[in-house]
Chain A
């Protein structure tokens, strides 16, 4: 079984998000980058499914050379090899096209991504790759089991879950529940240095979207504190002042 896992290089979850150049660019100064947490879940499940000689896991990232430490982290967690498509990721459409171009003649059985990147929150790449490759895509999955050529998947729906099967090649975006994120051990970290990391060129593609500006949420007013012994007055305030109940 050959699995391809798509990973994003994203700011650490504790990052305070600020912008520069008249709010047109993300301020990368002092920002620590990590493997997107959802992609770690996808990667961890891919490793579980291929452990014990049952297959191989390749990770792919679309980005510039600065992403290599993040890719090495994925190799340390347990991927067998890695590919970086050498281009600044413009939008999900661009990234998905690059992944599809790489994967189209490589015969991967399963392609996994995280449910979304924690920077642009798109959850777009998986379904777009699925469309470019004309294979089924399942978004926001909670569970993935593979038996031969058939995968059984649980996906989240409003107020519940859906259980479905898919035969043959597919791509899925993983959420919490699919696997516990693996933490690299010392052996993994050492071996990651020498695992193959291929760099390939990007293909040209028409632009369909671009971010022109960023905004940060408006600051909230100061909190109205209610003494604990007057707790019941909160209900009145929510009803007549905030008008939400």
Chain B
């Protein structure tokens, strides 16, 4: 038995959330006294694959075939499951990213495996294989026991952290049979805003709500986020009104995030919004209403008008950065 981690590449590079998944998978391999193998699909240079050794992967399977240069959910799942079987891996780990969310369930069915997605901690070592995962949109955690022989875990970004564990990674070519029936989806276009930090795996997030009064006032939010290197987010009423895109909506019916810092500006903190952000490590709330429920879960709060407070923060940040 061993542990297999799928390392998702974007334009030939691995993101921090991938190194985090490798770090997490390495910790599980250590728990099980076994080795960690990574599998990469698509065009990735050897130098980038070698990076995976830094976080504990002792072997990297490199799948570089023409049909799989871009993401095909069904075919990627087949290749990862085939690699798990060939390597004798009974635990498959991946990042709970958008693509990971599409892959993990298919891999689980192929391997007849229990799936813990949205994992936030290492599995228990008390004889049962239980994984703590988010549930009820951040309002709770469910301790989920995987009772099957094979197991699949999808790790939430920012839940475990990147941990270095220098190993020399041996790179091997992995040949996968690609079935034509697995290539049912065809990508026509990929649009990526490269100048922006992606929200789901952002470490810092600046978020704003109805208190901003209108979409024309987001300039200062973007400036503040830009200075911090933060992603921008918003509350549900804001995306419902089309002031901001749905992809920025955090909360119970939007996306759940757990950044190191969440700055909420002009958001009152309804229970549905708090559900999506309550696992943020530090929460700052700026609101002119001292009774806003958000202050109850905040670490730092400023009672004041966003239009006065945010420009001051921008100035202070510029001064801080020198």
Contact = CB atoms under 8 A, between A and B. Distances in A.
Interface of A: 11, 13-14, 16-17, 19, 37-38, 91-93, 96, 118-128, 130-132, 134-140, 142, 152, 155-168, 170, 175-177, 206-217, 220-221, 223-228, 231-232, 234-239, 242, 244-245
B113 A244 contact: no
Contacts of B170: none
7 contacts: A92-B105, A92-B115, A162-B71, A176-B254, A210-B144, A223-B296, A232-B313
Contacts of B295: 223, 225
B187 A163 contact: yes
A138 B198 contact: no
A231 B263 CA distance: 13
Contacts of A170: 184-185
B261 A242 contact: yes
A238 B300 contact: yes
A32 to B, nearest CB: 14
A208 B75 CA distance: 24
Interface string B169-195: 000000000000100111111111110
A165 B72 CA distance: 11
Contacts, number: 279
A228 B302 contact: yes
B224 to A, nearest CB: 11
B300 to A, nearest CB: 5
Given A127-B105, A236-B320, 15 more contacts: A91-B114, A127-B102, A127-B104, A128-B106, A134-B181, A136-B73, A139-B73, A139-B98, A156-B98, A170-B185, A176-B253, A211-B143, A232-B312, A235-B320, A244-B261
B74 interface: yes
Nearest to B294: A223
Contacts of A242: 261, 282, 299-300
A219 B288 CA distance: 24
Nearest to A169: B184
Interface of B: 10, 15, 71, 73-74, 77, 97-99, 101-106, 108-110, 112-118, 128, 130, 132, 134-148, 181, 184-194, 196-201, 204, 228, 239, 246-247, 249, 252-254, 256, 260-261, 271-272, 278-279, 281-285, 295-305, 308-309, 312-313, 315-317, 319-320
B126 to A, nearest CB: 11
A161 B248 CA distance: 13
B301 A224 contact: yes
A227 B185 CA distance: 55
Contacts of B148: 206-209
A147 to B, nearest CB: 13
B302 A245 contact: no
Contacts of B185: 136, 138, 164-166, 170
Nearest to A161: B191
B188 A217 contact: no
B252 A118 contact: yes
Contacts of B98: 139-140, 155-158
Nearest to A217: B278
B320 A164 contact: no
A232 B114 CA distance: 49
Contacts of A139: 73, 98, 101-102
Contacts of B272: 13-14
A209 B134 contact: no
Contact of A217 (B141, B200, B316): B141
B300 A224 contact: yes
Given A37-B253, A210-B145, A236-B320, A124 B285 contact: no
A160 B190 contact: yes
A215 B117 contact: no
Contact of B99 (A157, A228, A245): A157
B102 A167 contact: no
Contacts of B284: 234, 238
B261 A211 contact: no
Contacts of B315: 232
A119 B271 contact: no
A34 B246 CA distance: 22
A14 to B, nearest CB: 6
Given A140-B101, A157-B98, A228-B304, A220 B297 contact: yes
Contacts of B305: 228
Contact of B191 (A134, A160, A244): A160
A153 to B, nearest CB: 8
A93 B115 contact: yes
Nearest to A207: B147
Contact of A165 (B102, B118, B186): B186
